[in-house]
Structure 1
Amino acid sequence: MTIDQAQLEQLKQTLQADDYRLDVDVQGDSADVAIVAGPDACEECLVPKPLMQSMLAPVLGVQPDSIRLTYPTDKA
């Protein structure tokens, strides 16, 4: 499967409206995704991780459980 660039850009723009940046790195059948908060980001605006993974999966062309998702609230 391939990345749906149009849907990915739309998702990035949606997150930008809440002052988040979406970083994506797809390698084969898995993906590393980081959502980075800006200074005006609203923590309550992010959906739970499993929902975000299920939203990202068809866009990135990978299975939801193969997406390693990092949220701003995750400890490094």
Structure 2
Amino acid sequence: MSDTGQVASALDEFRRTLRLDDADLEVVGVDGGTVSLRLVLGPEACEECVLPKDMLETVLLQRLRREDDAVSAVVVDDPRVA
């Protein structure tokens, strides 16, 4: 994936699911094979309903690699992790 628009499109379905729990993902950037994302939790977010950071990164990596096997890592900035 070479740009943030491609990443956002690839994650549309996943993001729709997150929005049900008042959460979302923002694409921060793409650097080589690394995709950086930010988990955004709304005021009514069900924090326990969203996968833990390590699992979230694994699931997102698998999803993005279906679109582009050049994606080698996903890093999620998760506000739940201090």
TM-score normalised by L of structure 1: 0.76
From 52, 60, 64, the equivalent of 2:64 is 60
From 43, 49, 54, the equivalent of 2:53 is 49
Which blocks of at least 5 consecutive residues in structure 2 are unaligned? 66-70
Aligned to 2:43: 39
Distance in 1 (CA, whole Å) between partners of 2:45 and 2:34 is 27
Q: How many residues align?
A: 72
Q: Deviations over 1:47-69 (max 9, x none)?
A: 12221111111333323xx2221
Q: 9-18 or 52-61, which moves further after superposition?
A: 52-61
**Matches for 1:1-76 after TM superposition, within 5 Å:** 3=6, 5=9, 7-24=10-27, 25-61=29-65, 62-63=71-72, 66-75=73-82
Q: Is the 8 A contact 1:26 1:60 kept in 2?
A: no
Q: Where do 4+ consecutive residues of structure 1 move more than 4 Å?
A: 1-4
Which gives a bigger RCO, structure 1 or 2 (Cα 8 Å, sep 6+)? 1
Question: C-alpha displacement at 1:30, in angstroms?
Answer: 0.3
Q: 8-17 or 45-54, which moves further after superposition?
A: 45-54
Distance in 1 (CA, whole Å) between partners of 2:22 and 2:15 is 10
Identity %: 33
> Counterpart of 1:45 in structure 2: which amino acid?
C
